[in-house]
Amino acid sequence: MTKTHIPVVDISDAPAAVGAIESACHDIGFMYLTGHGIATSTVDRMRAAVIAYFALPVDIKIGDRILRDNYRGYIPAGFFSANSGAVLADLYEGYKLHYEAPARDAICADCDLYGPNRWPKGSPELKSAVLDYWRECDRVANVLLASVADILGIERESFLRLFEKPLTNMTLLHYPPQAPDARGFGIHPHKDTDVLTILAPDPVGGLFVRSRDQQEWIEAAPPRDALIVNIGDLLELWSGGYFVSTPHKVVNNRGAERYSFPYFVVPRYDTVVTPLRAPQSGFHRSIVHVGDVSREVWRTNWPDATPVDSNFDLGTLAD
């Protein structure tokens, strides 16, 4: 395998897949996941519900608009592009969802990032489809996290406990078509700030992954029914830079509507992320408190917000 190749990893026999997971996370930070057990019908139902929601009139969706004090709800097209460093607004609209915590749960008093989701009133099917798909992603994530614990040489149960009542979240996304020669992106080049991202690919394509030598962009082309999985900056830090968080972007110039619903694995708010193995040569990143950095990442999505701590640099790209 070269470091410009996205490998296929079959987790139907999870213990046997640990070596392949390790190679993928170290070499490119992306993998195509087969043997995951999520039924095609579950993914299809989820996709249909997402398409139906974004087909609603804008004035209905605006009623579910995301709020500063509740980072859940509808994201209008172009709203969160101002701090991306891009000249042009990213070409997507979205809907943000988080781990579902009832308002009476004590964790909501411990950390203001928790709470119930705002489910859109105009799309009753969406909640059921999302929660069914979310449960399946939780299961797949736990398989992968157990393998990560083995690779990093730590006890599985203690590592998985860090993901009880997590800050895991999901973004529903709709990308309208771009002209083939149009400037700008569906989503500009970026890295994920999480531990793992699980994505059911859209048949339209348009997801591009940067090669390790930064010389080319590789379009993701997974096998049928495979998931796309990538690691984020928190796992890169946990691994001391042994795993790589890889930049990627979306360009939707195929003349069709594109929909996706990435699931972002994030530990519980009180987790402190520091290397669990000796850092790679040249790897330097500050220790991260998950609640603090999550709050700052979400706060600075607002166009008029500015960062208050340069240590909160998750997701940034080198110049």
Helix, coil or strand: residue 223? coil
pTM metric for this prediction: 0.95
The tokens describing 189, both together, are 């080049």
- All domains of the chain in start order, with CATH: 20-299 (2.60.120.330)
Q: Give the chain's mean pLDDT.
A: 92
* Chain segment 109-161, per-residue pLDDT in tens: 999 999 999 999 888 899 999 999 999 999 999 999 999 999 999 999 999 99
Nearest to 200 by CA among 173, 222, 228: 228
E strands in 168-253: 169-175, 187-190, 196-199, 207-210, 217-219, 227-231, 248-250
Give rounded-to-5 percent helix, strand, coil for the chain: 30, 20, 55
Alpha-carbon distance of 293 to 298, in angstroms, equals 9
> DSSP code of 264?
E
* Chain segment 92-107, per-residue pLDDT in tens: 999 999 999 999 999 9
pLDDT band at residue 302 under the 50/70/90 scheme: confident
What's residue 319's pLDDT?
Answer: 46
Q: Please determine, for residue 171, whether its predicted confidence score (pLDDT) is greater than 80.
A: yes
Element (H, E) at 128: helix 124-152
What's residue 2's pLDDT?
Answer: 47
Q: What's the one-letter identity of residue 120?
A: P
The tokens describing 38, both together, are 């999520």
Whether 229 contacts 33, CB under 8 Å:
yes
Compute the C-alpha angle 202/204/214, nearest 5°: 85
What's residue 6's pLDDT?
Answer: 96
The tokens describing 238, both together, are 């946990």
In angstroms, the Cα distances linking 105 to 128, 138, 165, 303 are: 21, 20, 10, 31
Alpha-carbon distance of 7 to 9, in angstroms, equals 6
Whether 265 contacts 196, CB under 8 Å:
yes
Whether 109 contacts 99, CB under 8 Å:
no
* Chain segment 175-187, per-residue pLDDT in tens: 999 888 888 899 9
What's residue 158's pLDDT?
Answer: 97
